[in-house]
Structure 1
Amino acid sequence: MSAPASHVKHPSHAAEASPPGPGAGGTGTLLARRPPQISGSTVPKELVHRHNPAEVMLTGWERRGGDSFGLTARWPRFHRLFADVNGCHDPLIAAETIRQAGSLLLHAEYEVPFGHQFVMWNLSVSTWRGPLAVWTTPADIDLAVTCHDVKRRGKALLGLRYEAVLRRDGEVVAHGGAAVSCVSPAAYRRLRAPQLDGAGPPLPLTSPVAPHEVGRTSPTDVVLSPTGQRGHWLLRVDTHHPVLFEHPVDHVPGMMLLEAARQATISTLGYTAPPSEVTGEFSRYAELHRPCLIEARRLPRRGVEESVLVTGEQDGENVFRSVVTLPPAGG
């Protein structure tokens, strides 16, 4: 995974990173200022909250002025989870790239120390099938990211929202965005203590639905378990999954919830296609030690596309809400 030299522009104040601990952030603080990286490498994995360098999509970034930034990414031809969908790169790899962009900018440009947690309230992505096509080489992606509603208390960043436009060879392949809050380690402990103190281990791993019903080839990648009721599933949480749980966390990752929404949509509509749009709103943490019920409902058709509303509920309270839109079958 590499990028042309012109795509690797790192500000000299990017931070040296210490390894992240449980949760979205890491341990330690921002350390010495880091010189520009050597061309051909990805950004430091700690900046995007990954442990495995192979899961880092971003290859470089630069500030373009104010709260506008240019970033570069590279999508592999083959990925362990974000696999080829009908000859296209998986649109959820675009969602993960947008997530990583926010994490990088918060640390490297807005100077949020490692150890702080990022609470993502929403994440959305829309894609275009043509530019998503898998070619014989990895896909080099340029991102234009603009941050809005930047909130601070003194010098400390409280949160922001950001929008991203992703291009491949100058053609728009995706756009989306997210809203993120920053939480100090002490505040995070207070926030999570009521749920985590005495919570016990994660639930035992439940049986998957048939992979072909949810657009998967391996049961390992299935995140839904049958309930016997149509349109309802239990979230299947495999804390040893090499991508969804590639580092320890104390809650279900948001990307897993979006994958659950995608799988529930495919099961509901009865066919597999790369989603043209995925939106996710996260209202509370999905806990590892409590069952999470997933429910899907087909929405009225808009044009030729089909949309499904997917919700997650835990202990009678909403955890997340997602709308997934697919192009027509065979379209």
Structure 2
Amino acid sequence: MTDGALSYARTVDRSLTHRAAVSECFLTDTRRTGERTFRVAAQPPRAHLYYSDHVTDARTVPSYDPLLVLEIFRQCCILASHEYLAAPADSSFVFDRGTLEVLDPEALRVGELPAAVTVEGEFTDVRERAGRPCGATVDVRASVDGRAAATMRLAFRWIPRRSMRQLRTRARAALALAPRRAHPLVNRLAPAEVGRELSANVVLGRVTVSSAPEVVAQVVVDRGHPALFDHYVDHIPGAVMFEALRQTATTAARELCGLDVAPQELELTGCDVTFLRFGEFELPTDCRARVADGADGRPVLDLALEQEGDVLATARVTLARKDRALRERGDRGTGDIVVTDARPRLLSAA
């Protein structure tokens, strides 16, 4: 299958996307289209240990995970930086902010054949050090089989890996990391509580709901997860943070907005995240969520990832009820969210 000059025959060199496993590299080709514009071809997997693990039934048409689209966008930024901005091969990439918007959830429905994803990208800002590019802001737009699906703006930078190791060594030396006190893996929620089938894909432990009202969730970091930890890193990766934000937002939407829906009936349609500092494996990580100002009962949550009072990232997550799920259940309503009086509770662990 081709899309103009783009090929979907094989993946690009996985090193250009900073993936260790070939199966975790989703990009298949790229072309420069202008001084600061480019196109990338991608083929998302129709079945994946992590991205496809969502509770479904025989009436539900599966969808490509919005976080899979986000990962394709992330890989596009790294690939384009290496290919078109001469980012050195030994660079470590640090993402500072990302704003994802799903334009059409129906465009993400999984079809009978592998999807052809085309990403249009533009470097809207390129930062330099000593006359060489060292960071950028990129606007990307993904179409699935020709249908506009999602957009994202990402701001990031890259530095030599040796410099990154030195920075991380100094930063970690300033922290009291012993004794280790991270949240244990055994406290994960039951998978159904977050719309998952597999316990391995649950990243939340004990969840409490306060009278603030606020949801506070323990973040479980499983370094043995083959997708979330595709390669060695010395800090909590962004993929784990995004999943923790989504699972916490879904939980908070049901607890704080009083949504009478199952977790799998809510899908992520927007996510605006700012990363502030690295997360350490040795420290307990918590995710806090409140209903955003002006949400008026809609599932829009403001969240913060924290380690012992230090904020790692802040985010605003927008959720929507799946229209297809409503139609297949035979609901006669318009698809609006129903707000009820929800009672705070302590969620169960698996």
The answer to whether structure 1 residue 208 and structure 2 residue 188 are counterparts is yes
Q: Secondary structure at the match of 1:75?
A: coil
Indicate the structure (1 or 2) with the bigger Cα radius of gyration: 2
Q: 2 CA distance for matches of 1:294 and 1:194? A: 26
2:151 to 139, 155, 175: 175
Listed one character per residue, the Cα deviations across residues 64-85 of structure 1 (whole Å, up to 9, x for unaligned) are 0110001111112111111165
1:92 to 67, 70, 74: 67
Identity %: 27
| Superposition deviation, residue 153 in structure 1 | 2.2
- Structure 2, unmatched stretches of 5+, are 55-59, 255-262, 327-334, 336-350
- Structure 1, unmatched stretches of 5+, are 10-38
1:153–1:301: structure 2 CA closer, same or farther, 3 Å change rule? closer
Aligned to 1:285: 278
Aligned to 2:12: 43
Aligned to 1:15: none
1:129–1:84: structure 2 CA closer, same or farther, 3 Å change rule? farther
Asked if structure 1 preserves the Cα contact closer than 8 Å seen for 2:98 and 2:272, the reply is: yes
Code of the aligned partner of 2:306: E
Normalising by structure 1, we get a TM-score of 0.84
1:235 to 219, 226, 234: 219
Which aligned pairs between 1:10-49 and structure 2 lie closer than 5 A? 40-49=9-18
Q: 2 CA distance for matches of 1:165 and 1:40? A: 22
Q: 2 CA distance for matches of 1:306 and 1:43? A: 38
1:326–1:227: structure 2 CA closer, same or farther, 3 Å change rule? closer
Listed one character per residue, the Cα deviations across residues 238-263 of structure 1 (whole Å, up to 9, x for unaligned) are 00001001111000111110100110
Asked if structure 1 preserves the Cα contact closer than 8 Å seen for 2:216 and 2:286, the reply is: yes
Count of residue pairs the alignment pairs up: 300
| Superposition deviation, residue 323 in structure 1 | 1.6
| Superposition deviation, residue 4 in structure 1 | 2.5
Q: 2 CA distance for matches of 1:155 and 1:296? A: 42
Report the aligned-residue RMSD: 2.2
Which aligned pairs between 1:237-252 and structure 2 lie closer than 5 A? 237-252=221-236
Listed one character per residue, the Cα deviations across residues 176-215 of structure 1 (whole Å, up to 9, x for unaligned) are 1210111123431332113335956794534201111112
Q: 2 CA distance for matches of 1:88 and 1:304? A: 26
Listed one character per residue, the Cα deviations across residues 15-46 of structure 1 (whole Å, up to 9, x for unaligned) are xxxxxxxxxxxxxxxxxxxxxxxx61111111
| Superposition deviation, residue 291 in structure 1 | 1.0
Listed one character per residue, the Cα deviations across residues 149-186 of structure 1 (whole Å, up to 9, x for unaligned) are 21112343221100001112322111112101111234
Aligned to 2:6: 8
Code of the aligned partner of 1:4: T
1:228–1:131: structure 2 CA closer, same or farther, 3 Å change rule? closer
The answer to whether structure 1 residue 309 and structure 2 residue 302 are counterparts is yes
Q: 1 CA distance for matches of 2:276 and 2:251? A: 24
Q: 1 CA distance for matches of 2:297 and 2:307? A: 33
Asked if structure 2 preserves the Cα contact closer than 8 Å seen for 1:84 and 1:90, the reply is: no
1:264–1:114: structure 2 CA closer, same or farther, 3 Å change rule? same
Q: 1 CA distance for matches of 2:186 and 2:250? A: 20
Q: Secondary structure at the match of 2:189?
A: coil
Aligned to 1:18: none
Which aligned pairs between 1:157-196 and structure 2 lie closer than 5 A? 157-196=133-172
Q: 1 CA distance for matches of 2:237 and 2:134? A: 21
Q: 2 CA distance for matches of 1:279 and 1:227? A: 23
Which range moved further: 217-226 or 76-85? 76-85
Q: Secondary structure at the match of 1:276?
A: strand
Q: 1 CA distance for matches of 2:138 and 2:233? A: 24
Listed one character per residue, the Cα deviations across residues 207-234 of structure 1 (whole Å, up to 9, x for unaligned) are 2011111121111111111055551122
Code of the aligned partner of 1:252: I
Aligned to 1:268: 252
Which range moved further: 155-164 or 139-148? 155-164
Which range moved further: 218-227 or 77-86? 77-86
Aligned to 1:120: 95
Normalising by structure 2, we get a TM-score of 0.80
| Superposition deviation, residue 303 in structure 1 | 7.7
Listed one character per residue, the Cα deviations across residues 119-173 of structure 1 (whole Å, up to 9, x for unaligned) are 1001221111111111111211111100022111234322110000111232211
Listed one character per residue, the Cα deviations across residues 63-119 of structure 1 (whole Å, up to 9, x for unaligned) are 001100011111121111111655221111111011001110111211111222111
| Superposition deviation, residue 277 in structure 1 | 0.9
Code of the aligned partner of 2:111: W
